[in-house]
Amino acid sequence: MPIKWSALKVNEAMDMVEEFINEASEPLEKASIVVKEAGKIPNLPQYVNDRLFTLNGSIDRIGEIRRCIKVVRDALPEGSVADEKKRLESGSQLTLAS
């Protein structure tokens, strides 16, 4: 049974999300380094260190975002993206009725 929504558009949207995540990766990695270094400040109270640990955990969740993108792609019906691309490349064809 054909799907009535565009798997190709969903896949393209995930491509865009992935591109934005890739752009954000480097700055987030730098932020993580700074947070870890802040945790090495001498005589840092434990409650501040705990909050830095939580902050770093939040920054590291970029991997969870990547996993979610994969989950969306895996949910698309198998072959639907390729089939839709083929249909678009060949153009719409008129059906001759008698």
Q: How many domains does the chain have?
A: 1
Residue 73 placed within a domain: yes
pTM of model > 0.85: no
Residue 26 placed within a domain: yes
Asked if residues 95 and 17 have their Cβ atoms less than 8 Å apart, the reply is no
Radius of gyration of the chain (CA): 23
Residue 98 placed within a domain: no
Residue 2 placed within a domain: no
Check residue 4 and give its pLDDT. Answer: 87
Of residues 70, 62, 74, 58, the one with CA closest to residue 22:
62
Of residues 24, 17, 26, the one with CA closest to residue 69:
17
Residue 82 placed within a domain: yes
Distance CA 13, CA 53 (A): 32
Residue 59 placed within a domain: yes
pLDDT digit string (tens) for the chain, length 98 residues? 677 899 999 999 999 999 999 999 999 999 999 999 999 999 999 999 999 999 999 999 998 999 999 999 999 999 999 989 998 888 765 555 55
Residue 24 placed within a domain: yes
Residue 83 placed within a domain: yes
Question: Domain residues for 71?
Answer: 7-90
CA dihedral 42, 48, 52, 58 (to 10 degrees): 180
